[in-house]
Structure 1
Amino acid sequence: MLVVGVALVVLGVFLSLRIAPGGVRDLHAYQAAPRCAAPPSGAAECRWTQTFTVSDIRLTSSRSDVDRAFLTDGHGSRWETEYANRKPVLTDLKKGDHVTGTVWRGRLTEISANGASQRTQAAPADMRTRVLILALMMVPSGLLTAIASGWRLVRRAPTPGMVATLRVALGMFFAGLFSPLIGGENLWMVAALWLTVAAVMTVAARHYVVRKRVPEAVPS
């Protein structure tokens, strides 16, 4: 457990220092990209929109796979696109439908149909927020796990404080894992949800330790 805790801390810090500083560079470049004056001959910094025909839709229920749509452009080239979810566009598409696709740096980043638009997995994302949320999940829980494991090595036998610390570490990890399901990629909302769970877990842990330390009443 000590190795696991240290590994979580090191990995979380490494990713934060490595990816977070430039994690929004591509996203900002995409948002600021102008419309192309003419169809680009290759990967270009401008955004070009054109009509595509849906040639196939492959929806999956497997968590290890993603939903896909295969689109064909006016030259007959087939583009495979992947999506993190089915709404608001993918869910209503069927073979033969026409969509407007946005191409940037040679990637099909967005599709639009019936007044709605949806980004593909090729679109740039806010990697800084994603990495910081990941670090929020890994670093505090890993640090507490390492402390509790080191404590166990010194004391040899488990103590109420040690058990409580491991429980808080586990709670913090799962709080970081599930908070994005509610807060999405809003770092402040995810942090607020995580802090709430962490505070509740800390209070519960303290109550557990105090209760364990109170000696049982000796009958007279």
Structure 2
Amino acid sequence: MVWLLMGLATLVVAVAMALEVRGALDREREFRAAPACASAPVQASGCRWEQEFTVREADLNRGQRNGPPEAELLLPSGKPWDVTFRQTDPVVSELAPGEKVVGLIWHGQVVEVRDADGRRQQTSDGPVGWPEDRLGGALACFSFGLPALLGGVWPLVARGDRRHAKAAVVVRWHGVCLAAVALFTLWAQGANGWPLWAIPAIWGPFALLGLASMTAFVIAALRGDMDDDGLPAPEPDPTAPASGHS
């Protein structure tokens, strides 16, 4: 029952993330096509404006669970501007109080921070990278959710059948492996800056191999090849000469 509930919940998340991919792509395209502002915008605008900031403090929040890296930036007027980041590298982990940075403002939000060495990092409000995150997350959730759902329903339908129960276990744990592959693919794509299509291109062949492996093990389980019953003891050969001392 636990696997069944986890599968249902994860599939709901997978659908929600998949529905966000198109919107994230549109927002990223809008950002890349946005022109530079002619002057500092006085209100949220679709143009891009580079604003100098001074770092007041930066906190990676490594000791806090689910706490994103964050930094407090100061405008030349002294007004603070708090920004958060999705990850620590490559900029926020190197920020020090008093350091000068440039923030890219779009639609009233700091979406990117550039340090003195020219390194850039998207903030939590940045549109770049969100389509890949949504797609990779959807694949990971779907890879886990569907096998977990099937593996959770199967023992309930074939209650009391040991072979079907083992086949269900095979399905569930293959789902865990496929989800891990999807997460690794997302990490590799982000670390190397590969395009969006690289995620399904890498994950797809591994998914096919995983499905083939799952099918083979399920068939083996249903045939009884995975039964852990002890092998029967060999019967003595009646034609063999008896051993012993006379």
Query: TM over 0.5: same fold?
Result: yes
Number of the residue aligned with 2:123: 120
State the aligned residue count: 219
Indicate yes or no: 2:215 matched with 1:213: no
Aligned to 1:129: 132
Give runs of aligned pairs for residues 10-159 of structure 1, distance below 5 A: 10-17=12-19, 19-62=20-63, 63-112=65-114, 113-157=116-160, 158-159=162-163
2:109 counterpart letter in structure 1? R
- Cα distance in 2 for residues equivalent to 1:115 and 1:46: 21
Residue 208 of structure 1 deviates from its aligned partner by 7.5
Compare relative contact order (CA 8 Å, sep 6+) and give the higher one, 1 or 2. 1
Deviation at 1:79?
Answer: 0.6
Q: Is 1:199 the equivalent of 2:201?
A: no
State the partner residue of 1:8. Answer: 10
| Gap regions ≥5 residues in structure 2 | 236-246
Q: TM-score, normalised by structure 1?
A: 0.83
Cα offset for 1:2? 2.6
CA distance 1:45–1:176, shift in 2 (3 Å): same
Amino acid at match of 2:220: V
CA-to-partner distance for each residue in 1:162-214, whole Å, 9 max, x for gaps? 22112212222333344323333755444424742662575277357537724
Instruction: Provide the alpha-carbon RMSD of the alignment.
Output: 2.8
Amino acid at match of 1:73: L
Are the aligned partners of 2:11 and 2:146 in contact in 1 as well (CA < 8 Å)?
A: yes
**Rg larger in structure:** 2
Following TM superposition, the consecutive aligned residue runs of length 4 or more in structure 1 with deviations greater than 6 angstroms are: none
Contact 2:45 2:107 in 1 (8 A): yes
Q: Which residue of 1 aligns with 2:180?
A: 174
> Could you tell me which residue of structure 1 aligns to residue 171 of structure 2?
165
